[in-house]
Each structure stands twice: as structure tokens, then as C-alpha cells.
Amino acid sequence: MTKTDLEFLKRFSMLIGVLALLAAVFIAIAVYIYGKNPAATNPKAQEVVAQRLAPVGDSYAGETGRAAMLAAEEARKKAAAAQVAYGGTTDGKTIYDNLCGACHTAGVSGAPKMGDKADWGPRIAQGTDVVIKHAIEGYTGTKGMMPARGGNPSLNDEQVKATVLWMIDQSR
């Protein structure tokens, strides 16, 4: 090696050493500052973790499981009944204007258009009980689909029936 190469390596080594020392000083300062001001913790952290770890569903097995499943279904029905849509009204026009019209005005997803006898004729021919059943339980056919209760689970059976009958009357 030449004298200039040795001189370059000596100065480069000193530069690396100074930079390493400077990095160590900055790390020490950061640790000191972090120690003085710890990160804020969420006061509801345990609650959030408990929600994240909570089971998504239930598992039912045997007769005991069947009883628990029926009890859970009954509780769900009572909770849904407590929150009946549109103040419990059975006025078909009100429910149609607030919910059904979104699809049945434009024929979204194959929905029969309000007042269109050609769309409603085959459905009415099946019988009003079948049309009401499809509105309550939902329906997926070759021409389109109908979500259960029009997509609003808080509608009760009487409200759905009244609305379907009103729509049929408007489309005859």
C-alpha cells in the first residue's frame, strides 16, 4: 500500500469512529428523553383486548346446545321486536317510501317495478302467500333477488305483509 492509501484509511477510520460515537450519543439522548416522557396508554386497553379476544360465534352440540341455541334465537327475536321499524306502522305506502322504493322504483337486481303489470303478473300468479314468504325470508331466483325483509331486519312480519299487499294492489 502506498502512503496516501494508508493516510486515506486512517482518516476514513476516524470518520467512521466519530460517526459511530455520534450515533451512540443520539441513542443515549433518545433513551433518556423517552424515559422522562413515556408513551401514553389507552385507558380502555384491556377492554379493547377483551373485545378482540371475544368469541365471534357460539358452538352448540347435543340437546344442551340445542336448548341454548333456541334460547339465543328467542332472545334475538325479542331484541328485534323491541326495535320495530318505522314506529310499528303497518301502512304499506310509508314503508315502501322509506325502504322498498329504493329497489322497486328502478327495478334494481331484477326487482319488479312498482305498477308494472308485466313484472308483477307472474309473481301475483304464484299467490300472495308466496310473494309475502319471499319478502319475509328473502329470495334468490334466476331473474333477481330479494333480501329478507327488504334488507331491514327490524321489520316485523305484519309490516312486510302489509307492504307487499299494498304493492300488489298498486301493480294490478
Residue 8, pLDDT > 80, answer: yes
Residue 139, pLDDT > 70, answer: yes
Low-confidence winner among 18-22, 77-81, 125-129 (lowest mean pLDDT): 77-81
Structural domain boundaries in the chain: 1-37, 86-170
Check residue 80 and give its pLDDT. Answer: 66
Check residue 19 and give its pLDDT. Answer: 97
Higher pLDDT, 129 or 39: 129
- CB-count exposure of residue 167 (10 Å: 0-12, 13-18, 19+): buried
Phi, psi of 139 (to 5 degrees): -155, 135
Query: In this structure, which amino acid lies at residue 17?
Result: G
Nearest 5°: the CA angle 35, 38, 40 is: 180
Q: What is the CATH number of domain 86-170?
A: 1.10.760.10
User: CA neighbours within 13 Å on the CB side: how many for 2?
Assistant: 3
Supply the pTM of this predicted model: 0.53
Q: Which stretch, 32-46, 69-83, 128-142, has highest mean pLDDT?
A: 128-142
Query: In this structure, which amino acid lies at residue 43?
Result: P
| Tens digit of each residue's pLDDT (9 = 90 or more) over 147-166 | 999 988 888 899 999 999 99
| Tens digit of each residue's pLDDT (9 = 90 or more) over 67-111 | 888 888 888 877 766 677 887 888 999 999 999 999 999 888 889
Mean pLDDT of the residues in the chain: 88
Distance of CA 92 to the CA centre of its chain: 28
Query: DSSP letter at 84?
Result: -
